Amino acid sequence: MSCPICGKDADPKYRPFCSKRCADVDLARWLNGSYVIPGDIADEEERAPSGPAGEDTPPGKPH
């Protein structure tokens, strides 16, 4: 198996990566949003709850 980041042979210690560096590069890509599933943003906004327990919170009022 080859490393998905650089293509070198994977090291069993860091599988599927070849090194800690490549594992960290992959983690950084996840954390900064480089890996995304394409979709319609409007659909996500309609399903996302906007307040505690899905209740709408009026703008400008503290929780």
Buried b / exposed e across 10-43, counting CB within 10 Å, b at 16+?
beeeeeebbbeebbeebeeeeeeeeeeeeeeeee
Residue 3 among known ligand-binding residues: yes
The yes-or-no verdict on residue 59 having pLDDT over 70 is no
Residue 22 among known ligand-binding residues: yes
pLDDT at 23: 97
Residue 50 among known ligand-binding residues: no
pLDDT at 38: 79
Beta-carbon contacts of residue 57 (< 8 Å; ≥ 6 apart): 50, 51, 63
pLDDT at 63: 61
Give pairs for 26-31: CB < 8 Å, separation 24+. Answer: none
Whole-prediction pTM:
0.57
The pLDDT tens digits of the residues spanning 19-56 come to: 999 999 999 999 998 888 777 766 555 666 666 665 65
Residue 18 among known ligand-binding residues: yes
pLDDT at 21: 98
pLDDT at 39: 77
